[in-house]
Amino acid sequence: MSFQFLSLEADAEGIAVLTIRRPEKLNALNQALIGELGEAFRQVAADGAIRVLILTGAGEKAFVAGADIAELARPNAVETVEVSRLGQETFRLLETMKKPSVAAVNGFALGGGLELAMAATIRMGSPNAKLGLPEVKLGIMPGYGGSQRLPRLVGRGRALEMILSGEAIDANEAYRIGLLNSVVPQAELLDAAKAWARKVIANGPLGVAFAMQAVDVGFEAGPETGMRFEAMSFGALAGSDDRREGLAAFLEKRKAVFTGK
């Protein structure tokens, strides 16, 4: 499928790069773009050759500067709920696709842009990145999952500090509080994201997928349920070809060749 606002490119290593291309609007999210993101996430999830997804924004100023305010101002209350749910459901596709993802935050990640980045597995930022949820400055609040994901990433107190003030923070502060996993010079950002992706790709794909699910189950249902899921997943992997290959490769002091089976 061809996209109006996105480009999706995958290489032979299994790394796909999804670039949001609306630079004249600082890559702001409109409903058409969100629809395209949903389709792109479904394509990546269904493509067995893709192991890791990298998201970034076109240009050097913005990852995603937020929602398209002109479009956001038009819906009535009922329609606004539908807008919120579409964004939440789309970003949840990214969060639950069972494949790791990296948000390469190459500039502004505000409002819906930060909400999108938080749905990724990890976040890397360039020094010029600015991250925040400024919705209260417009008399509204985060609507694409920001009120739920930010506290889980940085803690309740820091999340409320950011959400209620509406102020953005810079890349170094975002790294200090755990919102960014690393800060990388902008010219090296995509290469750094790909380097992390290659580390993941070297590992067993089933183990990676089950580990991601175990973390999510524990966060959502609590540690007791999470540990039960962990034990069941640990057992399920015992019958896999990947487990046999991984243990054999370790004992034979060679590189494992995983098949995802």
Could you tell me which of 124, 98, 117 has the C-alpha nearest to residue 193?
A: 124
Is residue 115 flagged as an active site residue?
yes
CA 244 to chain centre: 31
- Residue with tokens 């959502």, as numbered in its chain: 220
156 in Cβ contact with 120 (< 8 Å): no
- The Cα angle at residue 187 between residues 183 and 109, in degrees rounded to 5: 50
Burial pattern 69-98, b for ≥16 Cβ within 10 A else e, equals: eeebeeeeeeeeeebbebbbebbebbbebe
User: Which of 9, 60, 79, 115 does the annotation list as catalytic?
Assistant: 115
Q: Is 201 helix (H, G, I), strand (E, B) or coil?
A: helix
Q: Is 108 helix (H, G, I), strand (E, B) or coil?
A: strand
User: Which of 24, 60, 79, 135 does the annotation list as catalytic?
Assistant: 135
Task: Report the alpha-carbon distance of residue 81 to residue 238 in Å, rounded.
Answer: 44
Burial pattern 178-216, b for ≥16 Cβ within 10 A else e, equals: ebbbebbeeeebbebbbebbeebbebbbbbbbbbbbbee
Task: Report the alpha-carbon distance of residue 80 to residue 39 in Å, rounded.
Answer: 21
- Give the sheet arrangement for strand 130-132, strand by strand: 62-64, 108-110, 130-132, 169-170
Residues acting as catalytic residues: 115, 135
